[in-house]
Amino acid sequence: MATQKTPRIDPLTVEVVELIGTVVARYHEEYEDAAAEHALTGAQARLLGLLSLESLPMRRLAQQLKCEPSNVTGIVDRLEARGLVERRPDPADRRVKLAAATAEGRKVARGLRDSLNFAREPLAGLSEEERLTLRDLLRRMLTA
């Protein structure tokens, strides 16, 4: 019976993984702070950000947020009570309800995006060629 060897992870890979983790943690921290400035939870802010781009059925929202549909219903209820989101019938299937950002919801989502400086400021220090390289490397990692 052949034994399977665990691949040795080199120090450079460990350092890159730790740096990616640090970047993600700092981004999430800033995102949570920006959400709080708008009296939103992180989950509410993420949902509002998605809906500012397009109206979506609750089931798709749950899939994109990686949570249960019942959680999405509660988040939409709270955003709807604040006038940031509304439910609409789906023109393609009137049995399905779409969640959609209101004009005020899109304004809040835009303000939230505009207040996220952590990723934008360091990236601005990179040349266009460096940003393109970084983008392409991240895409490759995600499709590997």
| Cα angle for residues 35, 120, 66 (degrees, 5° grid) | 50
Q: What is the pLDDT of residue 5?
A: 65
pLDDT band at residue 119 using 50, 70 and 90 as cut-offs: low
Q: What is the pLDDT of residues 25-73, one digit of tens each?
A: 988 888 899 999 999 999 999 999 999 999 999 999 999 999 998 999 9
Q: What is the pLDDT of residue 80?
A: 98
Q: What is the pLDDT of residue 6?
A: 66
pTM for this entry = 0.76
